[in-house]
A and B are shown apart, each in its own frame.
Chain A
Amino acid sequence: MADKSQVCSVWVGSETGILKGVSLSKKQAFNFCEMSCLSRDQEVCVLGWGDEHETEVLVGSVNGTVKTFSTEKGIFTETRQCGESTQGRFTGIAVTDSALITCVETGLLRVWKEGSTDTVEINAGTNVCRMRQNPSQRNQVATGGKENGLKVWDLERPETPIFTSKNVRNDWLDLRVPEWVRDMSFIPDSDKIVTCTGHHQVRVYDPASPQRRPVLEAHFGEYPLTALSLPANQDSVVVGNTHGELAILDLRKGLVRGCLKGLAGGVRGLQCHPSLPLVATCGLDRFLRVHSLEDRSLQHKVYLKSRLNCVLLSSKDLELSSSAVTGDVEEVKEEGGEVDEVWDTMEMINDQAKKRATDEEEAVVTGVEKTTKKRKVVK
């Protein structure tokens, strides 16, 4: 189990409650679930990294439990009860120095400190759709939802938000424009926040400027945008909607740069790789797809039998697995017989793991990989 989870570079949460780890270099997907008792109330709502070194995955479920999964050990190490299912689904999960931040649909944002049972609570309004943490300033979080505009909270001052957005002006018929913030993201190296709405708008807010209205507004498609992510290079954003249309929008002018093709179902989870020009998407069509942002081609497509809710990419290089890295090092010192021993032991563990067929299943990955040899030489 442990070596399987160490190899996985993409983590996906499904509606059946199974945490799936996918290794794109080995083209395999693994299910990590406790025993064979699955139930719909363990449906994974949110996934997040438990720490900065990305060794722990936090899994938030519908019944209010947050499980910690260790990628090194390959098992669920901890379970915490953070609210009940009556309070709504988790819409966001984040970690700051030893505190866990959770937000549910009814707007209750809680900070759970380690050791103590009391929590700092913030009421973020009703119908919250998403909560995200600022990666550079870890005590700032943003929330937004249906008829609930974007609010940025500082956890040290939980009474009032440090930034509340204002709705845009009435439209040409003098009617109030409805608001529905579905997802947001903090733009690095600046104060700005970009949001995508259920009314197919992408908006950029700047708390540093005196205006509380969006600084930039762009439109894409006719269907609600459900997920958003910022790629490694600045000035663009990738959005997905309920019809499975993915687009890269340019944030300087608000124009569509291009569309990513292939998805057949609504996009539920979308994440760009922190350094490589890759984007991973998962959705209701039960596939995990990895596209390249440069030429907008499909790099990998994995069939994972349940509807997928959220995706989490690790920062490590997706093409190279850890074994390949050690392989390079060992090729240099080929004199020693350690190479064979290491490879043999690795194979043996895999065979034993296959015999334990009850817990895990392996799915075959269909991949369209380009020039992997070249990349290995470069690295």
Chain B
Amino acid sequence: MDVVEEHDIQDKPTKKKTKKPKKQPKPPHENGNDSMIEKTEPEHVDAPAEFSFPPTFSVSEIKNKQRRHLMFMKLKQEKRKKKKKERDALGDKAPPKEVPKTIENQRVYDETTVNPEDEEVAFDEGTDEFSAYFNRLTNPKVLITTSDRPRGRTVRFCNQLATVIPDAHVYYRRGLALKKVIPQCIARGFTYLMVINEDRKVPNGMVLCHLPDGPTAHFKVSSVRLRKEMKRRGKDPTEHSPEVILNNFTTRLGHSMGRLFAALFPHDPQFVGRQVATFHNQRDFIFFRFHRYIFKNEQRVGIQELGPRFTLKLRSLQKGTFDSKFGEYEWVLKVIIYYQIHVKCCTSKRYAISP
């Protein structure tokens, strides 16, 4: 696969690195001093089992990177074929296939993962700040605003968010203090306050505050794609309430976040609208996508991406409404920086939202 890719890259006229287009099929038109390698290459192609190199020769001794790479690829292919033959020869007695190690496989099990039958957690969730929404006592009403003096991109992002979230209202910030805005929102019956923070003309943060007395989550927003920039997108979203999909919010913190996102949308999705908002959590990053789907038949679905897309990373979850100075934090992202002698590398400690 890599060999093919390399050829493709070489074929493109825009790449400046190309010297000789196709090496392998045609014998290379080279100078006389490469004659030894010229001979060895066709020999290698004809008789793979016979090595005419000295026995201590290894692939890594070839100085030319392209040739070294090709030789290595060939070596790997042969090894794979040999292994497959051996495996087939053993038949049923072959040892089971090893599962490759991935980051997801190697995770330490998170002990805060919620067990669905846990009574204590169920009670905790049943009486927390979102219980009013989940008991259908309140309907969501969202106020979207930005940091002071937003630029065009952020304003457009807010407007698009307002089309995605039903019953959302966008207001200009005009330099008002959030602590003064919050009592007014509560008085007017808002249940959520969403503040998109902007830095250098690009949205980069979000404060999501559940209103009567609820938790405040502060996110880092990245990879914002507005509707214009989406490829193969459908028409604008309609006013129907979307369905909400929450993936991988399995730990206790994940549950709180999942409920936070779920309470943004009305209780009953309107399936007529065929719209769905997805919050997918993977490795502590939450990906938001908004699609319209259509069932072509029982098994197949077509989806069209509408609407903005962005990724969120939780920075802190604070108990109570927005009070960054004196509020109590339920969870804070702590970045631990390891210093080595001359190299500084930054790794974040995994207080994972998902296992």
The chain A residues found within 8 Å of chain B, CB to CB, are: 15-16, 18, 31, 36, 38-40, 198, 223-224, 226, 242-244, 264-266, 268, 284-286, 303, 305-307, 361, 364, 366
Contact = CB atoms under 8 A, between A and B. Distances in A.
Contacts of B326: 198, 224, 242
B280 interface: no
A187 B332 CA distance: 32
Main secondary structure of the interface of B (DSSP, over half): mixed
B111 A264 contact: no
B30 interface: no
Contacts of B118: 305, 361
A145 B124 CA distance: 29
Main secondary structure of the interface of A (DSSP, over half): loop
A243 B252 CA distance: 19
A298 B124 CA distance: 27
B252 A286 contact: yes
B27 interface: no
A266 B329 contact: yes
Contact of B124 (A265, A266, A305, A364): A305
Interface of B: 111-112, 118-121, 123-124, 127, 252, 319, 325-332, 334, 351
A84 to B, nearest CB: 20
A242 B319 CA distance: 10
7 contacts: A16-B120, A16-B123, A198-B326, A244-B329, A264-B334, A305-B118, A305-B120
B120 A286 contact: no
A266 B127 CA distance: 21
B109 to A, nearest CB: 10
B215 to A, nearest CB: 10
Contacts of A40: 127
Nearest to B333: A264
A285 B330 contact: yes
Given A40-B127, A305-B118, A305-B124, A242 B327 contact: yes
B252 A364 contact: no
Nearest to A267: B328
A265 B121 contact: no
A16 B330 contact: no
A306 B123 CA distance: 10
A286 B326 CA distance: 20
A246 to B, nearest CB: 12
Given A198-B326, A364-B111, A31 B120 contact: yes
Nearest to B121: A305
A242 B318 CA distance: 10
Contact of B123 (A38, A284, A286): A38
Contacts of B332: 243-244, 264-265
A306 B252 CA distance: 10
B82 to A, nearest CB: 45
Name the residue among A38, A39, A285 with the largest chain B CB count within 10 angstroms: A285
